[in-house]
A = this chain, B = another copy of it.
Amino acid sequence: MWTLEQIAQNVKGKVLGDGAWEVNSVATLKSAKSHQVSFLANSKYTKHLESTNAGAVLVTQKMAEAVTGNAIVVEDSYIAYALVARLLNPEPENYAGIAATAVVNPNAKIPEDACIDANVVIGNNVSLGRGAFIGAGTVIQDGVIIGNNARINPNVTICHDVIIGDDVIIHPGVVIGADGFGIANNKGKWLKIPQLGTVEIGHDVEIGANTTIDRGALENTVIGNGVKIDNQVQIGHNDIIGDNTAIAGCVGIAGSTEVGENCIIGGGVGISGHIKIADGVMMTGMTMVTKSISEPGSYSSGIPAETTNQWHKNVVRYRQLAKLTERVKKLERPS
């Protein structure tokens, strides 16, 4: 149990109410009980402030008065919530050791405090940093280097010679360093181009389930520090993703594209190959990006859903735009 005072100290907040009140977990305003901390980060949920049974609510100064019970006033209530959630739910300690069923090459460098789970396969000259957790069934091929505190979940595949920094989290089913899609058309048949580069991943990167990041053709594919990638994302060979960029689910980025720092790429976005996206670009969901973007700001494309009936009509009108333009021209210059 933690007192509200202790919680407040951890988030640089101020308790309004009973600082000695004890809590041990986090919950939504609607479901929180008296031993739980909740938070108000979205004004849409303000109505729940009155009825919540939370032991305390994390709020900004502006909303503090609306809290009927204990409050902890903070600068940013969502960040504070994230910090409290982490404080009250620490990662479980690794059970150090190598499972009997793991297959670890004798030349691999495995620190004593690493946890290598059942059926893991680790190749020649692999090097793991301290505190590594490698989940069941994960395969790490020859020559891979991984930094400290890696948390690599089950059934991941990391191909040969991939380089990964500290503090990464890799979710199940991820594939890093498979061959890029390099083919050349030789009189009708496709000739495979050897993919001789690798993948370099920075520190503090999280990669979502079943995401794939291809190795480079000649140079490397590079994922910067602090990059966060959701599930089912495809990152092509020789892409470069700048520091602290966040990529939502189902995004596809074709090869040799450079994405800047601090970008936010919405779900289902598609980005063409061989282009450059500036720092600080935001793309809304399903945007189709075919050309370089040189200015920061928010970009979009796609026409949102309407009834299928209306959609049919609008598609027809779209296809008649040329004719409509002609008709307007004729009106402007009557014969």
| A contacts, CB < 8 Å to B | 25-28, 31, 76, 78-79, 81-83, 85-86, 89, 99, 101, 103, 117-119, 121, 135-137, 139, 141, 153-155, 157, 159, 169, 171-173, 175, 178-179, 181-184, 186, 188-194, 196, 204, 206, 208-210, 212, 214, 218-219, 226, 228, 230-232, 234, 236, 244, 246, 248-250, 252, 254, 262, 267-268, 270, 272, 282-291, 293, 297-309, 311-315, 317-322, 324-325, 327-328, 331-332
Contact present for B305 and A183 (CB under 8 Å): no
Given contacts A299-B308, A325-B317, contact A226 B28 (CB under 8 A): no
Give the shortest distance, in Å, between A276 (CB) and chain B (any CB).
13
Query: A315: which B residues are within 8 A, CB to CB?
Result: 303-304
Contact present for A246 and B209 (CB under 8 Å): no
Query: A26: which B residues are within 8 A, CB to CB?
Result: 196, 218
Residue in chain B with minimal CB distance to A268: B270
A191 to B317, CA, bound (A): 40
Query: A293: which B residues are within 8 A, CB to CB?
Result: 305
Given contacts A136-B139, A157-B155, A232-B234, contact A190 B244 (CB under 8 A): yes
A113 to B120, CA, bound (A): 25
Contact present for A188 and B244 (CB under 8 Å): yes
Give the shortest distance, in Å, between A137 (CB) and chain B (any CB).
5
Given contacts A306-B299, A306-B300, A317-B325, contact A89 B228 (CB under 8 A): no
Give the shortest distance, in Å, between A136 (CB) and chain B (any CB).
4
Contact present for A302 and B299 (CB under 8 Å): no
Copies in the complex: 3
Given contacts A231-B181, A252-B250, contact A321 B322 (CB under 8 A): no
Give the shortest distance, in Å, between A314 (CB) and chain B (any CB).
6
Having A283-B305, A301-B302, one finds 4 other A-B pairs with CB under 8 Å, namely A137-B155, A157-B173, A285-B288, A324-B325
Contact present for A311 and B307 (CB under 8 Å): no
Contact present for B303 and A302 (CB under 8 Å): yes
A325 to B314, CA, bound (A): 11
Contact present for A318 and B314 (CB under 8 Å): yes
A325 to B282, CA, bound (A): 29
Contact present for B306 and A289 (CB under 8 Å): no
Contact for A234 among B85, B179, B249, B289, CB less than 8 A: B249
15 example contacts (A-B, Cβ-Cβ < 8 A) are as follows: A31-B218, A82-B193, A86-B193, A86-B194, A137-B137, A139-B155, A175-B209, A210-B232, A288-B302, A288-B304, A291-B304, A298-B309, A301-B304, A314-B319, A327-B328
Given contacts A300-B305, A308-B298, contact A121 B119 (CB under 8 A): yes
